[in-house]
Structure formats: structure tokens, C-alpha cells
Structure 1
Amino acid sequence: MLKEAILWLPSALWAGMSRYTVLFSITLVVLYIIHWVRERRYKHTLFTRLGIPFVKPHPLFGSMHTLHSGTLATDIMEDWIKEHGKVFGFYVGEKPNLVIADLDLVKQVLIKDFHNFSNRPKLPIEAQPVVDTIVGLRDQRWKDVRSVLAPTFSMMKMKPMTGIMNTRIDEFLQIVSEASSKNEPLEWYSIFQGLTLDVISECALAMKTNCQRDQNNDELFVAVRAFLKNAMNPAIFLAVYFNAFAKFFSFISNQLALSGRMTNMIVSHLKTVIRIRRKDMSKKYIDVLQLMLDAAEQQNVSDFQDEASDDEPTKQKATRKQLTDAEIIANAWVFLLGGFETTANSLTSAAYLLACNPDAQEKLYKELSNVIEDGTQHLSYETVNGLTYLDQVFSETLRIYPPVVSFINRDTANDTMLGGFFIPSDTNIVIPLWHIHHNPDFWPDPEKFDPDRFSSETKASESRHPMSYIPFGAGPRSCVGIRFAQLEAKLALARLVRCFKLETYEETVIPMKFEMPTVTHIPTKGVMLKATPRQ
């Protein structure tokens, strides 16, 4: 009996302790939930306290669930602007976001007071390698890296890359010709994706791909498509809703996200290429990766010279600016993503608009015929830049269908005043690009495709606000690769229209239908057009 009592006592004590432990744990959880709810409710009163109109938030989601409800985020934003005006707030989780649709305030944020809005909003999770790119870097390190990268995309540095672009466009035109000879319509979004990924892979990654000919089996093409499709993964949403656990979700995303396959493939390849090229720096290659390596080596020389001097501040400055291998790899990676989807979208939109507007297409064809000599296949940088109507067509395309519609946003570094409202630090500023480009106050009959809006005569006769057209952003943090993107797109468009007449047919969806898995509009069902060879 005593033996049984001795054996029973510890189990009884443990059972009692377990009950108290469970009760204590439940109490802690309940108290935390109560604290969390009260804190969230208080944070959701920010715009009320500031006297700023706002979208009523859900306690958990804020308004993020609305923006990802299946309706296009740009349509939702349009409704919010109509209801709340040109300055209003909404919440993403607990994070306050201030929408600025007033162009004078847009200029204040992007240019005049750039010192207070130099950073993009912090990423909800510290995803690799985004944090080391000019998209993810912040403050002084962003300025240092941007100052090194900006010359990489200068006009003089882009000229040699027309050879790569022309060669890839040769293959693109051959694919179009083969389909045309069979009288087959083409799905242009996929074709342009293949072209732009082939171009950017060779120009930014020193990687030759076969994305145009073998989209289903090309490993990079499949991986990039999967990445973009799953970029907004559950870890990101959870990090937004439960900010306290952002670091944990960052770990989960970096280790388990579907983007890992593509990222690992690119990073491994770039490390190999950098190692090979560093063995013989006398041999030069024509691509963005080489330009970044050259920039890093020039900084190394500056560092070495500074070490031999007594000018310590200069030494520290040079050391700060030097590009690390991690930053070279990360920025090559982000150039791939930035230069692939956006350029494919722009080319798809341009082809669609020209097919739907045959008069504009014929006017462009006449310009090409007058400027380009018969028999000329590859076009030069100078020739493309001299095509004024082509520039008007491309500019109007980017107005109607901007390549990135929800990426012009900024983080407020310090308390400030905007439009008579006090704006506290750590508030996200959102510039509604789609609304600005389709606002009838700035663009009469905004849905109409009219390249003459961008003619020199129209520009001279109209006093257009400089912020009414910002497809690549504005100010010091605008798109660094704008020259590369414009050169590739104009080159492809010029050669396409010179060789083929684009036409709609019964399977063409008019108007285009879109979805928005990330920050870009992409055609929901593709874009079907016919291409007829010109005589």
C-alpha cells in the first residue's frame, strides 16, 4: 500500500502542476490577445486622430484582404479615391498607408522633400536576396549602391548591348514568321516573356537561355514563372498581419518559399561566373554583370589608394561605396525580375494597342520605312532613338498600361506636413499611378490610344504637370534601368512592325482583361493577335 502511495504521489503532483501550467499558459495567451486587440484598435485610430479620411479597417487584415479579394487593386483604389478624395489613408495589417493623388504633393514626396522619403517601405519579411538590392537597401547604403549602379545604365553603356538584343529579336521574328506562314494566331504575352527573359538573362546574368523556343522545358523560364505566380506567399501575409512574428516568417519564407529554386539557381550561376571572370579581369564582356564587376574593381583601386594616404574620411567613404559580391549578385537577380515581366507587359500592351488602332500602326510603319533603309535588319541605338513616332507610341502605351502599377511608394523618415495634414514618421506613402495616368483632368478621354499626346507640338502647347506621367517613377529613386528597358522594347517593336502587320481576330479579348498577382498587371487570358508579313 505504501509502495503504491509513493508511486502515485509524483504522478499526482505532476498532474496538478500540469493543470496549473495549462491554466497559466491559457491565461497568458488570453492576456496577450486582449493586449494585441487593444493595441491594434489604437493603431487603427491613427487617421481618425490626424483628421485624415480613411478606409474603415478590418481588425486583423486592415484593408489588405480587400486589395487581394479578386477584384483588381487598381479598381479598388479608384473607388477609394472617388469616396475619400485625393489624400486618404488605409491600413495594411496595422501599418498606416497614406494615398497621395494630388500631383503637387506627389512632387513634394518624390522630389522636393526626397530627403524625408528616400526609402521604400520596409519589406514585411527580410527576403533574400531582395534586402541587398537597390529595391531593398535603405538610407546611406542605398545611396552608395545607387551611385555606383547609375553609371552602369548610362546611354554609352547601353549601346553595346544592342547586339545581344538584335540577335535575340532575330529569333523572336523567326518564331512569328513560322506561325504566320501557317496562318496561326499567336499568344503574344508568352512570346514576349520568352524574348525579354532571353535578353535580360544574357545581358544581366551572363546566361544563355532558350526561353523563346522551349518555354515548357527551359529551367529558368519555368522557375521565374513559378516565382512570380507565388511571390505573394502565406508567409508574407502572416508577417503583415502579425508583425511581431515577422522574423520567424522571414526564416520560413527564405527556407521554404517556392522562390528558392529560382534564387538558388541564379545565385549559384553568378558565383561561378564572377569567380571565372575575376581570374582574368583583362578580358571584358558586354553585359550588366561585367559593368558591375568593373565598378566594384574601380572601388577596390580607390580603397587601396586611400589606404596609402592619411585622408581617413575619404578612405571610409570609398570603402562604404564598394559593391560587395552579395550586392552584385542580388542586383543582377533583381534586374532579371525587373527587366523581364515589366518589358514583356509593355511590349504585349503595345502590340495589342497597335492591332486595335491600325491607323497608328500604319503611321509608325511609314516612319520606319522612311528612316530605315531596305535590307537593314539590325537597328542601332541611334536609329531607334531617332524614331519620334515610335517614342510617342511607346509613351502612350506606358500611360494607358503602366508596366508597374503599385510600386511607387515611400516610407516617411520623420514627422512632416503634407497637404495641411500632419504625417508621422513610419507612414507608408502610396502614389496611385494607374489613377494618375487615367485621370481625365490630366488626360482628356484617357482610355483612348492617342500617341499624339506626346508629340512635340502637343507638349509645347499644353502645360502638363510633370507628375502626370511617371511610368518609371520620378526623382532620385526612379527606375535605374529605364534606358535598358526602353531600348529593348523600342528595338523589338520597331523591327516587329517593320516586318509584320498586327491584326485582331475573333479570339482577341477586347478590352484586355487583367489580373495582378504582384505589382504588375498581366493579361488574364493572354493576348491573341495575327501577324501578317508585309510586302
Structure 2
Amino acid sequence: MGNHPGSRQLVSNASVLGQILPRIRGISGGRHAIWREKHTIFQEAGWDGLANVSIIPRLRTQIWLSDAAAIKEVTMSRARFPKPVHQYRVLLLFGGNIVASEGDEWKRYRKVAAPAFSEKNNKLVWDETVKIMVDMFHTLWNDAPEVTVDHCIEITLPIALFVIGVAGFGRKVSWKDDTVVPPGYTMSFKEALHVVSTGTIVKAIVPNWAMGLTKHFRHVRDAFKELDNYMFDMIRARRESEKKEERYDLFSQLLDASQVETEDGMPQITDRELVGNIFIFLLAGHETTAHTLCFTFAMLALYPEEQDKLYKEIKSLMPDPTRLPTYDEMNSFQYSMAVFYETLRMFPPVNGIPKQSAEDTSIVVGNGSGDSVAIPCPKGTYITIDTPGLHYNPRYWSDPHSFKPERFLGDWPRDAFVPFSAGPRACIGRRFFETEGIAILIMLISRYKVTVKEEPQFANETFEERKARVLAAKPVLTLSPTRVPLTFTKRE
């Protein structure tokens, strides 16, 4: 690799051992190295590309990238830099899907899935999200003048779950109902959906033979089985239904597409693949939305002046506080989108996007001085798009550690913003995600002011200490907030 700057260490950061060991020079990089270092490690090396070599569990060459042009080249060149699908085996829990596939298989899945993410589906997402928020204000919060939560995830996770329930599965889920367990089942659809969405990491890392060892493991195992049964029952029910309703949820749209036969008379995707893809949309659409919104409300609580700017925009577009925003107005809420994007820049859901070199090649990277160099990239080299490294790179973002939503109001470096990845493999559900997030943000900020919960044990902390505490995070399946205690005070 031309002895290009980077780490030379015994244990790979991608290995299980590498995720356990602390940072020891020459031995291991330590847990969550990408999130912890952000762009610092690139600045120290003098280049926005690093050549890393490790020996355990096997000789491994890897290039980390925080150079926008190099990342664009990698993401646009699918043949040279395919996705290492073997790293996504844990996402095959329900069946083959668009995320854990490559080549012709990926093309087939995308051909079927792309039409499902339509404007009609986006409008459904918006309308149902608004209804869910109104229901939360009235039913859960009882229009209380003040609501305090120990962790904001207590609010954002169920909201995101309810949205994916209705816009993803076509099943309305609410705050107080949906506890009925149908004959033949051991838990309600709502419970199965919740346990699967929060228990995926358990199902992914615990061997099947061990899933019966604890009560929690058994509950997760049973929830996966129940959700699988629910989805196959939904497939049968909708196929056997005499009255064909016009439905725009993802499940119905994929089901319709799956019934279109290919030239050889086979369905475009099997029922198992249909279920596998719906599960991926559940996983991607639920956790990432919930965590991003949690970070968004934390930032607005820490920076009240930014929250005031956001509220003023909402008020200017919706002077009547009783009127509900419509999907047609979404693009008018520019500061809302700017706040959302700035949160995604600072807290990207996926810290490292993996690729692999399919041939001996090279990747040109630059630095802050305007120099460039080609890093030799042997066949089989792992390439990591370092999202925090790119999003905190001062070449593209001035004062990158500061929360400045206005940077997204004018011209901004689109190639240096990859929370949804980039190129042909970019997130197919981006608009779904944005639509849901903006609707939630508008609805909540229009009615409630957000502040950090006052706790006696933190009475004497400085702003920087409070900021570090509230914004503490760690990468799990996606970047997860540790604890965001907030108070929501009803606006006059």
C-alpha cells in the first residue's frame, strides 16, 4: 500500500477482539474508533485517506476515506468497489433483502422495491405521522403543560414504530390500544413489532441454540417467530381478499410488485424475500429515525437560539396553531430540514460504510493543503467510508464541531454529506425517512418548547459538561444516544 500513513496494528478494529480491547498503540485501535476520532486521525496523518494494516484474525488491508471526491469515486464504481455482502449476514434474519445483496440479486430487489417508495407512500407517511403526533399530545400526554422524560428515546422509538407500522405494514398501531392477541398467537402485532425492532442485535449475535437460555432471549426469539407469522398471514389475507383496496403502504406495494411474473413465469421475488425486505425497512426506518430525532431534540434543547429560529419559521408558515401541516408544504419548511440535516451531519446513523476492492487499483486522496496522492489498493482491500471523518472534515465544513443548521440553507457540499450513503447503493428510503422526521419535528416544536431536564446531581456542571453528557453516544447497529433527559413545555 505504498507505506501510506495509517495504522499498523496487531488486531483489526472490525474483529470481536478489536471491539473489546482499549486503544493500545500498535496493538488495537480501541472500541468505536471511527466515532471517537472523527476527523482527528486524518489530520494527524496529513491525508484524507488512511492505509491500515492488521494481522489478527487474518492479514487485512483497509483504507479509511474522509475525502469527498474519493468517496464519490468508490460509491459510483460498483464493479470496482462492490459491497462486501458477507458482512451483512446478520441482516438475513427474515430472508434475502436489498441491503444484504449485490450484483443481479440487488438489481432484482431494487427493481421491485423502488416503486413502493412513491409520492403516494410519502404522503401516507406524512399524514399518518401527523395523526400519531396529535394522538400522542391528546392521549399519552393528556395536553399536559409540561412533560418530562428520562430519555427522549422513550418518545421517539414508539413514534417511529407506529409510523413504520402503518406506512410500512399497513397496520395502524396506537398509544393505548392494539393489545389484542389474535387466536393462534402469543403476542399482539404491536408487541411483536416492538420486541423485534429493539431485539435485533440480540437475535443477530446470540446463536440459535442459546436463544432459550434466558427469559429475555426467549421473548426475542418468540417475537421474531410471531412477526414472521403475522407477515405471512398478511400476505395470504391480502391475496385472498375479494375486495382489492388501493393501499400505499410498503408491504402492499411490494406485495403487488411480487405478483408480477418474470419472463420465465416466476415471481419477481418470493414471499420469503418479500418478508426479508420488509424487515430491513422496519430496521432501517425505525431505529435510525428514532435516534436521529433524539439527537435533534437534544441539540435544540442545548441551543435554544436555534430552537427559536425553527419555531419562528413554523409560526410564519402556520400562524394558526390548531392547523395541521400538509405534505404539500413540506419543502417550505427549509429551516426544519436544515436542523434535521445538521443533526445527521453531526450524528450520522452509520459511522462506517463498507466496500471492497474487486481488483488491484488505487484511490486518489487529498488533504487540506491541496495536495493529492494515489493510495495503492490491492484486490480484496476493505474500504471504509468514514462518515464522521467526512462530516467533520474542515475542508468541507467550517467549524465542523459546532451546531449550525444555517449551513444547509445555501449552497453546501453535497458530496461531503453521506448519512444515506451515496451512488446507486444510496438509501432507497431516504424520502420516507425525511418525510417522517420533518413531520415529527414540526408537530412537536410547534406545540412544545424543549429543554434539558433539570437534575440536582448536575446542578453545577458547565455548558460543555452538560453538552457532553446529553450528547453521549455509541455505535451499535446504528449510532445510539446514551441518555437524553428532556422536558417538553407547552407553548402559550
Q: Taking structure 2 as the reference length, what is the TM-score of the superposition?
A: 0.81
Pairing 1:277-292 to 2, within 5 Å after superposition: 277-280=238-241, 282-292=244-254
Q: Which amino acid aligns with 1:293?
A: L
Matching residue of 1:309 = none
Matching residue of 1:359 = 305
Is residue 360 of structure 2 the alignment partner of residue 412 of structure 1?
Answer: no
Is residue 343 of structure 2 the alignment partner of residue 397 of structure 1?
Answer: yes
SS class of match (2:86): coil
- Looking at structure 2, the residues matched to 347 and 385 of structure 1 have their Cα atoms a distance apart, in angstroms, of 19
Residues 352 and 527 in structure 1, CA contact (< 8 A), matched pair in contact too: yes
Deviation at 1:390, TM superposition (A): 1.1
Residues 127 and 253 in structure 1, CA contact (< 8 A), matched pair in contact too: no
- Looking at structure 1, the residues matched to 11 and 450 of structure 2 have their Cα atoms a distance apart, in angstroms, of 50
Residue number among 402, 407, 424 corresponding to 1:453 in the alignment: 407
Residues 180 and 531 in structure 1, CA contact (< 8 A), matched pair in contact too: no
Q: 1:442 to 1:214 in 2, by over 3 A?
A: farther
Residues 349 and 479 in structure 2, CA contact (< 8 A), matched pair in contact too: yes
Matching residue of 2:162 = 198
Q: 1:155 to 1:69 in 2, by over 3 A?
A: farther
Is residue 382 of structure 2 the alignment partner of residue 428 of structure 1?
Answer: yes
Residue number among 89, 111, 116 corresponding to 2:80 in the alignment: 116
Matching residue of 1:387 = 333
Matching residue of 1:174 = 138
- Looking at structure 2, the residues matched to 124 and 90 of structure 1 have their Cα atoms a distance apart, in angstroms, of 22
Matching residue of 1:271 = 232
Pairing 1:104-503 to 2, within 5 Å after superposition: 104-111=69-76, 113-123=77-87, 125=89, 128-129=92-93, 132-174=96-138, 177-178=141-142, 180-181=144-145, 184-185=148-149, 187-210=151-174, 219-220=191-192, 223-224=195-196, 226-230=198-202, 233=205, 260-280=221-241, 282-297=244-259, 299-300=260-261, 303=262, 315=263, 322-374=268-320, 376-406=322-352, 408-419=353-364, 420-456=374-410, 459=411, 464-503=412-451
Q: Which amino acid aligns with 1:192?
A: T
Residues 294 and 484 in structure 2, CA contact (< 8 A), matched pair in contact too: yes
- Looking at structure 2, the residues matched to 88 and 254 of structure 1 have their Cα atoms a distance apart, in angstroms, of 39
Residues 179 and 185 in structure 1, CA contact (< 8 A), matched pair in contact too: no
Residues 62 and 93 in structure 1, CA contact (< 8 A), matched pair in contact too: no
CA RMSD of aligned residues (A): 3.2
| More strand, by proportion | 2
Q: 1:264 to 1:80 in 2, by over 3 A?
A: farther
1:251-287 CA-to-partner distances (Å, cap 9, x unmatched) read 7689998764343222111100000000137223331
Deviation at 1:124, TM superposition (A): 6.7
- Looking at structure 2, the residues matched to 267 and 325 of structure 1 have their Cα atoms a distance apart, in angstroms, of 11
Residues 96 and 428 in structure 1, CA contact (< 8 A), matched pair in contact too: yes
Residues 92 and 100 in structure 2, CA contact (< 8 A), matched pair in contact too: no
User: Matched residues, percent identical?
Assistant: 26
- Looking at structure 2, the residues matched to 323 and 137 of structure 1 have their Cα atoms a distance apart, in angstroms, of 13
- Looking at structure 2, the residues matched to 446 and 378 of structure 1 have their Cα atoms a distance apart, in angstroms, of 35
Residues 266 and 333 in structure 1, CA contact (< 8 A), matched pair in contact too: no
- Looking at structure 1, the residues matched to 12 and 309 of structure 2 have their Cα atoms a distance apart, in angstroms, of 54
Paired residue total: 447
- Which 10-residue stretch deviates more, 171-180 or 278-287? 171-180
- Which 10-residue stretch deviates more, 74-83 or 370-379? 74-83
Is residue 471 of structure 2 the alignment partner of residue 523 of structure 1?
Answer: no
Is residue 490 of structure 2 the alignment partner of residue 533 of structure 1?
Answer: yes
Q: 1:431 to 1:255 in 2, by over 3 A?
A: farther
- Looking at structure 1, the residues matched to 244 and 149 of structure 2 have their Cα atoms a distance apart, in angstroms, of 48
Q: 1:183 to 1:398 in 2, by over 3 A?
A: closer
Residue number among 7, 10, 13 corresponding to 1:58 in the alignment: 10
SS class of match (2:131): helix
Pairing 1:17-36 to 2, within 5 Å after superposition: none
- Looking at structure 1, the residues matched to 381 and 111 of structure 2 have their Cα atoms a distance apart, in angstroms, of 26
Which protein shows a greater Rg?
Answer: 1
Residues 155 and 483 in structure 1, CA contact (< 8 A), matched pair in contact too: no
Q: Which amino acid aligns with 1:528?
A: P
Q: 1:153 to 1:69 in 2, by over 3 A?
A: farther
SS class of match (1:426): coil
Residues 161 and 286 in structure 1, CA contact (< 8 A), matched pair in contact too: no
Q: 1:364 to 1:332 in 2, by over 3 A?
A: same
Deviation at 1:79, TM superposition (A): 5.9
1:294-332 CA-to-partner distances (Å, cap 9, x unmatched) read 2223x22xx4xxxxxxxxxxx25x85x812211110111
SS class of match (1:329): helix
Which structure 1 segments of 5+ residues have no match? 1-46, 236-250, 304-314
Q: Which amino acid aligns with 1:477?
A: R
Matching residue of 1:6 = none
Q: 1:223 to 1:477 in 2, by over 3 A?
A: same
Matching residue of 1:248 = none
Q: 1:154 to 1:382 in 2, by over 3 A?
A: same
Q: Which amino acid aligns with 2:360?
A: D
Deviation at 1:110, TM superposition (A): 0.7
| More helix, by proportion | 1
Q: 1:360 to 1:517 in 2, by over 3 A?
A: closer
- Which 10-residue stretch deviates more, 362-371 or 152-161? 152-161
- Looking at structure 1, the residues matched to 140 and 488 of structure 2 have their Cα atoms a distance apart, in angstroms, of 7
